[in-house]
Amino acid sequence: MTTPMPGAGSPLEDANTAGSLMLPDSDVTTPDAAVPVSRRRSGGFADVWRRYRRNRLAVVGLVIVVGLAVVAVLEPVITPYDPFEQNLLNTTAPPSADHWFGTDVLGRDLYSGIVYGTRLAMLVGLLTVFCSLVIGVTLGALAGFKGGAWDAVVSRVVDVFLAFPLLLGAILIVQAVGGGVVSVVAALVALGWMTTARLARGQVLALREAEYVEAARSIGAGNGRIVVRHILPNAIAPVLVYAFTNIGVVVVAMASLSYLGIGVPADVPEWGRLINQAAPFLQVPGKTHLWLAPAAAIVLTTLGFAFVADGLRDALDPRLRGS
């Protein structure tokens, strides 16, 4: 009796054998099959948005911020009057069908001035925070990753700048270089990057010895690539939270400078300048609209960005990623 050689069976047996070899065991699964498609797609931004929208105040803040951005972009379209056009024969008029918010002390349409002030506040706030982020994250990451003399120098410079109160330092800088929107932005950037640098430095210090950073070093990745591709994406969350909070601080600081009579020119309908011009009418009956509208705009903007920052803090918290 001869033993059949391998592969010498019938075609049906060969097909069954081949099929059994091609099909994986029931308890072995591929990585793609192990994770449902819907679950794989729920990571990243979708996961952050899911946690963000749980915070109702954060959603309200996002609606406010988006609304302010739309108003700022559409300012030339939605303003019925030129915000700079003066009519000295119709000053401090109460709200009416022609002037929804009334007119200011120079006879300008107050609604148009508030909308223009929104555009100016968003521009200055976003530009100031962006420049502060670039400077602060760069210096903070350099100090945290390099350490040694770099860390000592950056830390001491940060300490020196933090010794100046924001408003007082901004007044000195604007008075030294002259008024104007550019001067205000420069002053607020010069005094606003230090906290960002400290946050970035602390995060980089905590992550520079992480296992995935060591793995990147072991395969020959350069320091610049390690910082940009591996450390900063994991360190940026608290910096972004602070940045959104700081936009409201910048808006208040700019309004404060304008209220004190420095910063933007006197004829610019900026919120702080409008409140300053309304100060003599604070106790005059029927003139509440002169200061109420710009004050409400400042409060609404500050609260909107604060609510967004609060929602981002909860959404980007690594301890909540499993929830």
What pLDDT, on a 0 to 100 scale, did the predictor assign at position 299?
96
**Region 211-226 average pLDDT:** 78
User: Going by C-beta distance under 8 Å and a sequence separation of 6 or more, which residues neighbour residue 167?
Assistant: 253, 256, 257
pLDDT 10s digits, 117-152:
999 999 999 999 999 999 999 999 999 888 889 999
Would you say 223 and 291 are in contact if contact means Cβ atoms under 8 Å apart? no
DSSP letter (8 states) at residue 280: G
Would you say 178 and 264 are in contact if contact means Cβ atoms under 8 Å apart? no
What pLDDT, on a 0 to 100 scale, did the predictor assign at position 26?
38
How far is it, in rounded angstroms, from Cα 311 to Cα 293? 27
> Backbone phi, then psi, for 6, in 5-degree steps?
-55, 135
Would you say 264 and 258 are in contact if contact means Cβ atoms under 8 Å apart? yes
What proportion of the chain, given as a percentage, has pLDDT over 70?
85
How many other CB atoms sit within 10 Å of the CB of residue 168?
A: 10
- Banded pLDDT at 6 (limits 50, 70, 90): very low
**Region 91-97 average pLDDT:** 93
Q: Give DSSP secondary structure letters for 210-257.
A: SHHHHHHHHTT--HHHIIIIIIHHHH-HHHHHHHHHHHHHHHHHHHHH
pLDDT 10s digits, 14-43:
444 444 434 344 343 434 434 444 444 445
Report field, pTM of the whole predicted structure over 0.85? no
Burial of residue 246 (CB within 10 Å: 0-12, 13-18, 19+) is buried
The token pair that represents 201 in the structure block? 């430095």
> Backbone phi, then psi, for 198, in 5-degree steps?
-65, -40
**Locus of tokens 């350069």:** 222
Residue 109's SS3 state is: strand
How far is it, in rounded angstroms, from Cα 315 to Cα 171? 37
**Region 206-225 average pLDDT:** 79
